[in-house]
Each structure stands twice: as structure tokens, then as C-alpha cells.
Amino acid sequence: TTNENISTQMQEVYETLNILASGIQTLNDDTQRLSSESIRLQSSIESVTQEFSSLKLSIQEQSSFLDGVKPNQEILQQDVASLKQKVDDMQYVSYDGTLIWKITNFHEKMMDAQSERQTSIYSPPFYSSSTGYKMRARLYLNGDGNARRTHMSLFFVLMRGPNDAILKFPFNYKVTFCLYDQTPQQRHIIDSFRPDIKSNSSQRPQSEMYIASGIPKFFPLTMIQQEGNPYVREDTMFIKVMVDFDDMPKTLLPYALSLNPGLPIHIHQLMIKQEIERREQSQSQQSPTSLANRPITLTMSPNFTDISDTLLSCELGHDAGSSMHVQQTPIEQDANEMVSQEPQETESYDTGITCVETRGDDDDPNGH
């Protein structure tokens, strides 16, 4: 009986051991499976981590790109505006030594000048001829230097041109500026200057734009800022720049600048030539001999001590461009009056009137 019990117990232990062995094998299998799963998950985690890092880097790159888009967009807009300005300049380029500069958005540009965001603006380039000097104007709307905040300053700038090597320098031609009155009164503001040949501004340009020269106090700001002034209409101002290669008389400038800007330049030149001829003809018709019938005033010197010691002075009106030399010869002297011969007139084209002092002589009863 005892042996049977022992055998039964041994059988139970054996079965238990088999169960435990089977469980251990299962546990080993599970451990290996979990280990493999862990390795796979670790690999997946590493892969996800790498992808996350790549995604983060991509997001950072995109963020940097987006941050750079705005300034690049601003630069691109500036480039587009610059190209547009160059295209506009090429469309309206002048090759006859004159430029009509249309300045739009005047009040905005004036505020930019006053706030010093942009103190000056440049006109489109223009040329004296198809092979000539390249030039432009520079305008300080709020003034420059001593004229700051008191006057508009307007300057002339020589630019480096393609044919400078064969052009003559220094540049010494008179430059005229005209600020247009846009009303029928046409009270244009006209001023001229001639570049100083000793200044660097008139020498051959060594850079794209050379030193400017011009008129610092071109026009008072108090006048241009008046409401309804005739020089700014519809927020637009017009300035004409004219290089005078013919030394036009200053008195002719108002006429030349009053001509219709819409007419071709050769018509302008013809009309100016006709005006010069008309003025010359008008002057020639005013003959100096017409002075013969004008009154002559004779004045006796108040300092004479004797009637035989007399000084005559002559006053005579004369036509422009000519004068008349008049010599009076006394022929009879009396205590109460003096009689003279008809004046001896000689035509002359200088200025002034000759007055002759005549003195009496005891040996000459006529006082010659």
C-alpha cells in the first residue's frame, strides 16, 4: 500500500513536471516571440523617429522658406517696379536735348521727401542727340542743403553715355528749367544756369551718374504747398529741362517755353526762328532818324559867373538799340535868353549822349 502511494505521488509529480516543462516551453516561446516583437517595435520606433526627424527638418526648411518668401517677394516687386520704370524710360526717351518730366503722385512724393524716406527723385534719362550726351534731372521736393524745407531744389546730372569717348568735355551748355503753370495764364517758372567748366560736374562722367549741378532755390515751398496753386493739378506736376545749344537770348525764353509742347521739335525751332526775325524786323522799323523831331532840353549851368561862361546839357529820349549824339552850338548870347542852332545829329549805335561845353571868348563875338 505504501508503495502504491509512493508510485501515485511520483506519477503526480511527473505529470506536474511535464505540465511545468510544457509551460516553460510555452513561456520560452512567448519570450522569444515578445523579444522578436520588441525588436520589431524598436525598429519601427527608430524608423518613426527618423521619419519624425525628417518631417521636423522639412517643416523647419519650409518655415525658413516661408520666412524668406516675404523679403524675396518685396525684392521681386522692387525689381519689377525697376524694370517697369526702365521700360517707361525707354518709351519716353528724348533725343533732342529737351525733356518734359511728368511727376505723378506729387503729394505722396512730397511726404516721402519731408519724412526723408526718399529725399530726391530722378527724371527719365534723355539725350542731346542719338549719339550725344546722356542726361537726367534730379529734384529735391523738400529742398537740399541750405534750401532744405524752404525751396524745391532742381539739379542737372550728366550720365555716362555710350559715346562719351568722342564727345567734347567739359560740358558748358546752358541748361534751362521750366516749371509749368497748368492754367491758361501760363505763368511758368523759368530759370537757367550754365555749368562751371572747372567743376567736376561738367567733366566726362566716370560713373553711371556724375555730380549734380543746378539751382538749389528753384521754387519756394510756400507757393507749391498752397491749395489750388497752378503748378500742381490732379496731383501732377510738369517740369521741362532744355539744354540750349544755340545760346538763345534770355528774352526769348518765355516765348519758347510757351509753345505748345505737343508740336514737333522742328516746328518749335521754326516758330522760334520766325519770332527772332519778327523782333529784328520790328526793331529795324524803329529808325533812329525819328528822333529828329523830339524836343531837346537845354539847361544852363547854375554856377556860371558870366554869361560868356555857359555849360549846356542835353536830354534826349532814344529808341532801343540806338542813340543820337547831339551837339549844340550857341550862336548868340543875351542876358535873358540863349538861342541855338538846329541840332547837328549823327547816328550811332552805342549808348550815351554827348553834351559839349562851350565857353565865350572876348575875341569871338559869337561865343564859338
pLDDT digits (tens, 9 = 90+) for 172-210: 999 999 999 999 999 999 999 999 999 998 999 998 888
pTM of the model: 0.58
pLDDT digits (tens, 9 = 90+) for 18-60: 888 888 888 888 888 888 888 888 888 888 888 888 888 888 8
Beta strands in 186-337 (DSSP E): 189-193, 209-220, 237-244, 297-300, 309-315, 323-327, 330-333
Beta strand pairing call for 309-315 and 297-300:
antiparallel
pLDDT at 172: 93
pLDDT at 113: 96
CA atoms within 13 A on the CB side of 298: 19
Low-confidence ranges of the chain (pLDDT < 70): 1, 85, 88-92, 287-368
Tally the residues of the chain: 368
Closest by Cα among 176, 78, 163 to 129? 163
pLDDT at 91: 67
pLDDT at 128: 95
Q: Please say whether the beta carbons of 192 and 253 come within 8 A.
A: yes
The three grid cell numbers given for residue 338, joined into one nine-digit string: 540863349
